[in-house]
C-alpha cells in the first residue's frame, strides 16, 4: 500500500491568523488518521509561523500512526527532535522570506553529522531534495534512510512535453533511491489532478501532501479530502 502523509501546517496557519485556539491541529490529525492518513507531517519553522512547539509535543503524544517532523538542520531543531523523538525527521531547506519550502535541500558534508545524531535517537531521517542523481547518491553516502523528491517543479509545469520530461526525471531519481536502499517519498505541490502521473510510476512508497488536501477540506470536510486522496494514491 502506498502511504499518505497529511501535512497539517495550514490548519495551524489559520489558527495563527488570529493567534487563537482554533482550528486545532490535533483535531485535524485525528480526523486525517481516521480517514486513512498513514502519517501526520508538520514543519516546525524557525519563525514558528504556523506549527508551535506545543503542537509538536501534543502530536507526539496523540498521533497513532507516524509523526514526520520537517525541520531545518540547525542546532536548535536538532535538540528539539532528539528530545521529542518524532518517527521521522525530514531535513528541509528554510528561508524566512519564503511562502513555502522553495526548492530542495542542497546536501553538504555538514549534514552527515545531523543525520548521524538524529538516527542515534532512533529516528528515521529523510532528506527533501530535487530529483538530482548526484545529490541522491550523496544522500545515501551520508546515511539518509529515505529521500523525499521535491515535486514542486513537476507540479508547476503546464506544457505536456515538459511534464513528460520531469516525470521521467522523477522516475530515474526514484529508481536510484531504491537502488541505494532508501525509501522513496515524494511531495510538494501535489493535488487531486497531478498525482496520477506519479501514482502511475508505481515507485513512490509515500506521498506527503498538505495544501491541496486542506484546501479541498474547506469545502468537503477533511474526512472526505483525506479519504479521496488515499484512494487516488492506491489506484
Catalytic residue among 33, 70, 94, 130: 70
- The SS3 call for residue 233 is helix
CB of 148 to ligand PXP, least distance (A): 5
7 near ligand PXP, judged by CB under 6 A: yes
Query: Is 115 an interacting residue with respect to ligand PXP (CB under 6 A)?
Result: no
Binder among 39, 90, 145, 171 for ligand PXP (CB under 6 A): 90
User: How far is residue 235's CA from residue 202's CA, in Å, rounded to a whole number?
Assistant: 10
Comparing CB distances to ligand PXP, the nearer of 100 and 137 is 100
Residues 76, 39, 150, 84: what is their CA dihedral angle, to the nearest 10 degrees? 10
Active site residue 193: no
Positions in 178-217 near ligand PXP (CB under 6 A): 187-190, 208-212
70 in contact with ligand PXP (CB under 6 A):
yes
Q: What is the DSSP string of 151-177?
A: -HHHHH--SHHHHHHHHHHHHHHHHHH
Rounded to whole angstroms, the Cα distance separating 181 from 91 reads: 18
Instruction: State the Cα–Cα distance between residues 87 and 19, nearest whole angstrom.
Output: 28
Shortest spacing between CB 189 and ligand PXP, in angstroms: 5
Specify the 3-state DSSP secondary structure of 75.
Answer: helix
Question: What is the enclosing helix (H) or strand (E) of 68?
Answer: strand 67-71
Q: If we measure between CA atoms, which residue out of 151, 228, 231 comes closest to residue 194?
A: 151
Known catalytic residue: 134?
Answer: no
111 is catalytic: no
Q: Which of 29, 92, 184, 217 binds ligand PXP (CB under 6 A)?
A: 92
User: Nearest approach, Cβ of 149 to ligand PXP (angstroms)?
Assistant: 10
Which residues form the interface with ligand PXP (CB under 6 A)?
7, 9, 43, 70, 90, 92, 100-101, 128, 148, 187-190, 208-212
Give catalytic residues, as residue numbers.
43, 70, 188
Amino acid at each position: 500500500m502506498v502511504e499518505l502523509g497529511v501535512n497539517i501546517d495550514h490548519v495551524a496557519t489559520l489558527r495563527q491568523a488570529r493567534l487563537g485556539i482554533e482550528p486545532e491541529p490535533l483535531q485535524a490529525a485525528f480526523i486525517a488518521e481516521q480517514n486513512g492518513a498513514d502519517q501526520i507531517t508538520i514543519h516546525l519553522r524557525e519563525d514558528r509561523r504556523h506549527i508551535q512547539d506545543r503542537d509538536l509535543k501534543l502530536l507526539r503524544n496523540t498521533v497513532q500512526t507516524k509523526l514526520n517532523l520537517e525541520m531545518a538542520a540547525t542546532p536548535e531543531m536538532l535538540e528539539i527532535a532528539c528530545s521529542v523523538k518524532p518517527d521521522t525527521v525530514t531535513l528541509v531547506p528554510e528561508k524566512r522570506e519564503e511562502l513555502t519550502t522553495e526548492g530542495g535541500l542542497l546536501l553538504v558534508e555538514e549534514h552527515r553529522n545531523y543525520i548521524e545524531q538524529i538516527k542515534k535517537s532512533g529516528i528515521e531521517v529523510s532528506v527533501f531534495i530535487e530529483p538530482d542523481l548526484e545529490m541522491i547518491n550523496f544522500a545515501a553516502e551520508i546515511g539518509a534512510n529515505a529521500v523525499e523528491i521535491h515535486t514542486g517543479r513537476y507540479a508547476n509545469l503546464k506544457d505536456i512535453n515538459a511534464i513528460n520530461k520531469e516525470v521521467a526525471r522523477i522516475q530515474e531519481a526514484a529508481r536510484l533511491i531504491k537502488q541505494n536502499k532508501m525509501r522513496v517519498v515524494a511531495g510538494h505541490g501535489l493535488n487531486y489532478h497531478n498525482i496520477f502521473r506519479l501514482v502511475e510510476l508505481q515507485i513512490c512508497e509515500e506521498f506527503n501532501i498538505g495544501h491541496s488536501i486542506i484546501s479541498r477540506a474547506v469545502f468537503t470536510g477533511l474526512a472526505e479530502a483525506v479519504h479521496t486522496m488515499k484512494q487516488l494514491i492506491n489506484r
